[in-house]
Amino acid sequence: MSIQSLFNKMPCYINGLLLLILTSVAGCSLNDNDSNRIAQPQSLKINEGFSNPLGFYDAKPNFSWQLPASSSVKAQSRYQIKVVSKPELLSQSADLWDSGVVQSEQTTFIEYQGKALDSRQKVYWQVRFWDQNQQVSNWSEPAQFELGLLNNHDWSAKWIEIDSKKPIQLNQYKTPIHIPQHLRTEFNANKTIKSARLYITAKGVFEAFINGKRIGNDILTPGYTPYKKRIETLTYDVTPQITQGLNAIGIQLAEGWYAGRFGPKRHWHKKLKLTPKVLAQLEIEYADGSQQQIVTDQNWQATQNGPVRTSGLYDGERYNANVELPGWAQTGFDSSDWSGVKTSNIEADVLLQPKRHFTSKNKQLLPALSVNKVNRKTIFDLGQNMVGVPKIKVPMKQGQTLKLRFAEGVNQDGSLYTKNLGSAKQLDFYTAKQDGIVEWQPQFTFHGFRYVEISGYDTEFKPKLDWVTGVVQYTDFKMTGKFESSDPLLNQLQSNIEWGLKGNFLDIPTDCPQRSERLGWTGDALAFANTSLYIADSHAFWSAWMQSIREEQFEDNSIPVVVPNEVGEIAQAGWSDAAVTIPWDVYWRTGDKNILAENYEMMTRWIKYHQTQLNNGISEMWTVGDWLQPYSQREDSRRGETDHSLISTAFYARSVEFTLNSAKVLGKIDDVKKYSTLLAEIKTRFQQHFFDQGGRLQVGKQTQTAYLLAIGFDLLDAATTKKAVPHLLATFEDANNHLRTGFLGTPLIAPVLEKVGRTDLAFDLLFKKTYPSWLYSVTQGATTVWERWDGYTHNNGFADKQGSLNHYAYGAIGEWIYDRVVGISPLTAGYKKIRIAPLITEHLQFAQGEFQSVYGTIKSHWEKTNSGLIMNISIPSNTQAQIEIPHLNKAVYINQQRLTSDRFEIIERNQQHVVILVEAGEHQIEVKSKDL
Ligand code: RAM
């Protein structure tokens, strides 16, 4: 019987004593009558959004749920959680933890306070709540989780790799070509099997098979972490795959991020000695209670003579079907010509930790939209710049080798543009063993591309669109945000921003996914984090990457610019500050205090490092500056014209401010005092040093970014800010009201212009179609956000300074589009209190969007009408919203009722808008002439 059905049969339960206590504590009667029960809580999750995870990483989890969407349920007044070790105990007494009835509105991140949990433990839990009228709900459907192997000592397996006698080949760069391996063993499972788990990871990337069947559908596992500190492990339920009797297990292993040619050339030598290895532990539990472990050890066998001849992240995959190994992961396979394996022990100082965010998967299929012959080459266009691999279905003749080339763009003559790939070849090859249709998808590589060129197929056939499909691969999160407006170009920009996320969130946040870089650049992530938190359920993704940042923090307290660190001992302002800003952003958008608690020490250490870079209160920290500012006259034009010490001092203040905010949330009173004083001092010093009495910048060039940082980060006092505004605006006028900002200034443009009362200018810039601007790239055919505003132009083709066509940093404008054009943003952390405040602009007739918050879906739609405006707002249970209604000096109706203070809670009314406070539910607002 499934757990679900077991629970459906259970009677609802409330402990009589508890009821008694509760009734007296609450001073009201709790309605426990079945017929009056309200709908149960739903969407049960643990930690950063995991539902029913297997191989979970945290023995001290926290619980979240959502209240049912119902017109009567507005809020939670109490809850009760039960946590048990066996499903049947849910109807009896909770053996692990019973929270008791807790008087609280909190439905998110409630800490487990029960008995200690251990590796492999199965845990079941349930929750119920009381609504605002003390009506109790049914118990939720039970949820469950199972812990992975939490400690290195849980592993008895050893790392294994082929014991090859052949010298490792080198490529043209003199770095090793690690030929992918197949590793296998057979084992007997003699008794009736109750359950089986495969715990597995690799130094490299792997795919596992049992009795010929692929285990799971994850790609490029285990993913990319600072391997010297931590390697993530995966857990799979393989109960159905194991048969009583003889079984076979096989693992394919390739170099991946760990051992491959990856990262900047100057650091390749550090990897020369690394070879791919795999670690696996299969644990079988029999019906009679006995257990068996099958582990990677010296008894395995390996070969490098399989069909995947080479596979690297940058260079692509080469497959030869003539050397396939049919049945290699099944029993009875003749492996007499396979080699033995070398074993190595698990290192005590490399943490083996269950993966703490979602794995990457094949997420979407993109059919080709056109196929053309260009210079006798066959080129497919998928219509969308994407990241992943191709899936091919191509007719071939025996012995032919199909060559696949990939590019983000095509030259004027239609041929592939690959100059921007650096040394990343992005080439796949497939050699056919017989005539016929070949179906294939590479396993251990990924490419950034929109166009696929193929050659080497059976030319008797005319190419068809279904020969090539794009398999889009990224971290397996749900898309949580939607946006649409009356402007098709703005909608395309939004789509480009979303594709920037899909393309660069493959296990870690990367700067770009196609060229020989693909690194976890902190500055790009700092710019884009808030936008990503709207678009996708990226909470776990960021928390996991923050752990990597913590692990990479240097002894001198500085933070590398790239994480996992592939570039050496470099820290820089505006990049490394991600260590502070991202935990804060994630907290603000999710309400999860744990991310602050986990990273707090790192933040304070980073502040200490900042302090070592001060000269008389002004920072001299290294920075590449306002990266890629257009029209920069600096010698290295990429580095922007804004004074570098201004940037570094501004980010010092920013990091102190966010650390201070975190200290407040975490209740660290001494630190609150310390950082408040410090922040005030930094601001004073900043203003004195960089600005004159008239609010004009007195150090370095008058740049937009200098003013944007000063005002956006609140570094000037109120009077000086006011005086600085005309100077800020002058920098835009000088640029003919275009932006002149790079990675650091661009995200601040719209919020700062709004802050200084020039929302009109913010919208002008957002809707500008001439270079440089967001929509300029859109008019030039962009389907993703580019590294440079003019990465490609219809008139001049690709930019001389070849850039990535999939770089999410400028997509940071998304934050303002969602917060202020759709109008959904948090007023308190996690959207417990929501601000609905769309800015109505002459550029749009309507805009709408929705966001799946931790409390449920928030929706905002506004549309101009002949007589005024309609707004449709949806607010999830257990939250409240402040809605800012642009009254247009007309009458305001809410759900057909005239807005009056006796009917509604009016918080503020001014010339522009009236602000009301509403509870959960649907709210239709009409602003119209009084007589209509
Ligand atoms: C480039 C990266 C990244 C940027 C750094 C400074 O190589 O692409 O986007 O943050 O440099």
CA of 509 from ligand 1 middle (Å) equals 12
How many domains does one find in the chain? 5
The residue with tokens 């939209």 is 369
CATH of residue 298's domain is 2.60.120.260
pLDDT at 8: 36
CA of 397 from ligand 1 middle (Å) equals 44
Query: Are 183 and 469 contacting, i.e. CB atoms less than 8 angstroms apart?
Result: no
pLDDT at 21: 36
Select from 627, 746, 801, 806 the residue to mutate for testing ligand 1; criterion: most ligand atoms less than 8 Å from CB.
Answer: 627
Residues contacting ligand 1 via CB (< 6 Å): 511-512, 517, 521, 523-524, 624, 627, 807
Reading the block at residue 273, the tokens are 């000695």
426 with 298, same domain: the answer is: no
CA of 676 from ligand 1 middle (Å) equals 33
Q: Just list the catalytic residues.
A: 517, 787
Phi, psi dihedrals of residue 472, rounded to the nearest 5°: -85, 125
- Residue stretches of the chain with pLDDT short of 50: 1-32, 932
pLDDT at 518: 98
Query: Are 882 and 75 contacting, i.e. CB atoms less than 8 angstroms apart?
Result: no
838 with 888, same domain: the answer is: yes
Reading the block at residue 497, the tokens are 């921003």
d(CA 454, CA 476): 29
List all residues 6 or more positions away from 652 whose beta carbon is below 8 Å from its beta carbon: 573, 610, 613, 614, 619, 621, 682
d(CA 477, CA 361): 10
Phi, psi dihedrals of residue 423, rounded to the nearest 5°: -90, 0
CB neighbourhood size of 455 (10 A)? 14
d(CA 304, CA 276): 12
Angle at 662 (CA atoms; ends 661, 668), nearest 5 degrees: 105
pLDDT at 20: 34
Find out whether the peptide bond into 354 is cis, omega within 30 degrees of 0: no
836 with 853, same domain: the answer is: yes
Give residue-wise pLDDT tens across range 311-335: 999 999 999 999 999 999 999 999 9
The residue with tokens 């005239």 is 898
811 with 889, same domain: the answer is: no
Q: Which atom of ligand 1 is nearest to the CA of 524?
A: 10
Of 152, 178, 150, whose CA–CA distance to 235 is shortest? Answer: 150
pLDDT at 24: 35
22 with 136, same domain: the answer is: yes
Q: Whose CA is nearest to atom 8 of ligand 1?
A: 511
Sign of CA dihedral 699, 703, 709, 710: positive
pLDDT at 33: 52
58 with 134, same domain: the answer is: yes
411 with 512, same domain: the answer is: no
Q: Which amino acid is at 931?
A: D
Examine the fold and report which residue of 354, 388, 421 is the final residue of a domain before the chain moves on.
Answer: 354
Q: Whose CA is nearest to atom 2 of ligand 1?
A: 511
pLDDT at 37: 83
Select from 519, 521, 808 the residue to mutate for testing ligand 1; criterion: most ligand atoms less than 8 Å from CB.
Answer: 521
Query: Are 131 and 148 contacting, i.e. CB atoms less than 8 angstroms apart?
Result: no
CATH of residue 848's domain is 2.60.420.10
**Containing domain of residue 398, as a range?**
360-474
Q: Which atom of ligand 1 is nearest to the CA of 523?
A: 10
CA of 69 from ligand 1 middle (Å) equals 44
Q: Whose CA is nearest to atom 1 of ligand 1?
A: 511
Rounded-to-5 percentages of helix, strand, coil across the chain? 25, 35, 40
Give residue-wise pLDDT tens across range 515-567: 999 999 999 999 999 999 999 999 999 999 999 999 999 999 999 999 999 99
CA 792 → CA 449, 620, 654, distances in Å? 15, 36, 34
d(CA 440, CA 130): 54
CA of 561 from ligand 1 middle (Å) equals 9
CATH of residue 24's domain is 2.60.40.10
At how many degrees (to 10) do helices 578-590 and 522-535 cross?
A: 10
Q: Which atom of ligand 1 is nearest to the CA of 512?
A: 8
CA of 511 from ligand 1 middle (Å) equals 6
Examine the fold and report which residue of 410, 439, 474 is the final residue of a domain before the chain moves on.
Answer: 474
pLDDT at 19: 34
Q: Which atom of ligand 1 is nearest to the CA of 807?
A: 9
Examine the fold and report which residue of 339, 354, 369 is the final residue of a domain before the chain moves on.
Answer: 354
